Amino acid sequence: MAPSVQVQQVDTSADSITESVKKIALGVGRTGDGTSNFKGGFADSSVDKLPEPTRKRFEKYGIDISRGYPERPPTEEIPVFIDDATAIRNTPWEFIDRGSKADPEKKALLGAAKEVKHLTKHIGTEIVGLQLSELTDQQRDELALLIAERVVVFFRDQDLSPQKQFELGEYFGKVEVHPQQVHVPGIRGITVIWPELFKKFGPITFRKTLNHFTSRWHTDLVHELQPPGITHLHNDTIPEVGGDTVWASGYAAYDKLSPALQEFLDGKKAVYFSANKYVDRENPLKGTVHIEREHPIIRTHPVTGWKSLYVNRAMTSRIVGLEPGESKVILEYLFDVFEKNLDIQVRFNWKPSQPGLGTSALWDNRISQHFAVLDYEGQEPRHGTRVSSLAEVPFYDAESKSQREALGLSLD
């Protein structure tokens, strides 16, 4: 008698295939310690490693960490496919920059400060003696203008609740909610910046700091239709020594170029891509791909009206209209302008003057790049909360001027 053969029914419906691909895709983010990078909610909680100053801040302001820390969006809301991820925030909305309403002299803000310190000639100002949580709307408008002019503004010794940080971000624009990244429990618009978590992607050692995505020159979220303007990182736990961040000015980078190169780049576009990767629904076996978006390579700031060079080594792939080889050579030069000219950079140490308080940096992401210095090698805790306020669709105005041109400074 012939043996009986059990035929298993295979479900080949489109829904079933989509589910199978999703399961494969969710394994794509597997990390060094075998955990998945794509689990939502409170999976992979690191609450036991939470630094003491952060824990105290959260306790004081009623952030519930009883279910774990940090939190991710629910697994079912984390996009797997590139078309789903691209569709997020893909419709333009009107943005009005708060800086456009400000008193050009900024008397309410600067007059109330104990001290206003310009840290370098071209970029970076520290305000002493003001609490961000107590600023009036007039002072907030003036702060937006100051950030637009100075690129990055610092406030030490801040007692700032996550809720107030979020509210300030909403004042400046539409708060970005990342579909995948970790956030403060209960507040999806506050991204957690905590190198302790980066260790899942590999050890942070003296030789390997560049393996970590914040420790390279970049501009945040350039793949967005309306990328962030004012971006606010509040560090509540800061290493005893080191852990600095460096910013570079896009206005000054533009002014470093020859008039001939400026003219060549004015009005051109480049392709920018996302830090995170997703699965191509039409070709799932191709592996994961980035979201891509075109923006002007020289953009005009809507408040200052100054031109800024908008490229970064981490997330700019090519200049539209050029051959790949041409694009590569020119982009390499433009990246170098930001990275090698120390006179257009500011390096900031976050340490507060009073223990137990935090330090805030608010930078204009439209006109800058930044780089986190991981010199503490993951040995000391560093923890921050970041709120990114989305701004306008990037544009180039042919009538706009460079910063030096507008300020009447020498162009030679």
Q: Which is nearer to Fe ion, 25 or 275 (CB)?
A: 275
Residues that bind Fe ion (CB under 5 A): 220
Smallest distance, Å, CB 371 to Fe ion?
9
Q: Nearer Cβ to Fe ion, position 220 or 236?
A: 220
The distance of closest approach from Cβ of residue 261 to Fe ion in the complex, given in angstroms and rounded to an integer, is: 27
Q: How far is the CB of 370 from Fe ion (least distance, A)?
A: 6
Residue 212 or 301 having the CB closest to Fe ion? 212
For Fe ion, give the closer residue by CB, 71 or 220.
Answer: 220
- Closest residue by beta carbon to Fe ion: 220
Closer to Fe ion by Cβ: residue 181 or 300? 181
Q: Is residue 196 within 8 Å of residue 362, measured between CB atoms?
A: no
Q: How far is the CB of 194 from Fe ion (least distance, A)?
A: 13
Q: How far is the CB of 181 from Fe ion (least distance, A)?
A: 11
Tell the smallest beta-carbon distance from residue 270 to Fe ion (Å): 19
Q: Which is nearer to Fe ion, 142 or 220 (CB)?
A: 220
CB of residue 84 to Fe ion, shortest distance in Å: 24
Quick one: 305 or 378, whose CB is closer to Fe ion? 378
CA count, 13 A, side-chain hemisphere, 364 = 30
